[in-house]
Structure formats: C-alpha cells, structure tokens
Amino acid sequence: MQGDAEQLLREHGLQVTAQRLAILRAVSSRPHGTADELIDDVRAVIGSISRQAVFGTLNVLVEKNLLRRIQPAGSPARYEDRVGDNHHHLICRSCGLTFDIDCIVGAAPCLVAEEDHGFEIDEAEVLFWGRCPSCKRTGETDTPVG
C-alpha cells in the first residue's frame, strides 16, 4: 500500500512525506477515525507528529478528494478513504460508532429535493442515527458522541 499511497500523492501534485503516508495509512486502517485518534495512530507508527501537520494534511487530502470528511453533530470530524461514491452513514448517538451504508436509492445524487429553491445542489447527505448493539445492551446514557 505504501507505493500506492506515494503514487496517489504524486498524482495529485502533493509532495510525498513520511507524515502524509502515515496519515493516509492510518485513515485507511481506521475508517471514520477522528483527528485525535489518527494522531495517536500515526504517532504509534512514525514516532511523532504535530497536531497541526495532521490537521493540515487532512485538510489538503480532503480538498484533493483523497479523503472524505464527515462531521456528525456532537462529534469532532471523522475521516474515511472511501471516496468517489455517495454512500451514507449510520452513527451511534452514544459512542459515535460509525458504519458505511450503501445508498438505498441508487447512484449519487441518490435523492432529489422536490423544491430546490433555486439552489445548485451538489450533495444529499444522509445520516442514520441510532444506538449500536453494545450501547443498547449496556443501557448507556445519551452522552454526546465523541
């Protein structure tokens, strides 16, 4: 995967650095991770990295469409490397556990608003909210996801 990641960065006109490769690998091995989780993962692999390098890199990768950012209510942003389709998400209100959900309707844009108010609509984001099996079981209280 290292080679692929390197290739990917070059193709998008980005310099190849150990930090970027590590971040890319961290996102792919922990889909829907938050920036802080990814920082920990990257540190475990390459020893050290600054918060800002991670935020900066995540931002350019999202901008270049190598990553997708999702920002569920009450949670810090999460990142995934599944881009290019418009799949959706199922999120636990208690613990923030997140799954990908394939679009129920079809290809993106999978939903169409009847009245578009003159907007140029580019995305229909669907978030399924609920409670994951383990939070159901423990009867955990409705603390904001983290």
Residues that bind a second copy (CB under 8 A): 69-71, 73-74, 77, 88, 90, 92-93, 99, 101-102, 104, 111-133, 136
Residue 88 phi/psi, 5-degree rounding, is: -120, -170
For the chain, what's the residue count? 146
Q: Which is nearer to a second copy, 74 or 146 (CB)?
A: 74
Q: Which is nearer to a second copy, 52 or 112 (CB)?
A: 112
Element (H, E) at 34: strand 33-34
Q: Which two tokens stand for residue 38?
A: 């990814």
How far apart are CB 126 and a second copy at their closest, in Å? 5
Do 15 and 34 touch, CB atoms closer than 8 A?
no
Q: Which two tokens stand for residue 6?
A: 């390197």
Of these partners, DNA, a second copy, none, which one is at the site of residue 102 (CB under 5 to 8 Å by kind)? a second copy
Q: Which two tokens stand for residue 14?
A: 């980005």
Residues that bind DNA (CB under 7 A): 10, 14-20, 34-36, 48-53, 55-57, 59-60, 71, 76-77, 146
- 3-state class of 13 per DSSP? coil
Do 72 and 78 touch, CB atoms closer than 8 A?
yes
Of these partners, DNA, a second copy, none, which one is at the site of residue 121 (CB under 5 to 8 Å by kind)? a second copy
Q: Which two tokens stand for residue 85?
A: 């389709």
Element (H, E) at 133: helix 133-138
How far apart are CB 20 and DNA at their closest, in Å? 5
Q: Which is nearer to DNA, 60 or 110 (CB)?
A: 60
Q: Which is nearer to a second copy, 10 or 76 (CB)?
A: 76
Q: Which is nearer to DNA, 48 or 139 (CB)?
A: 48
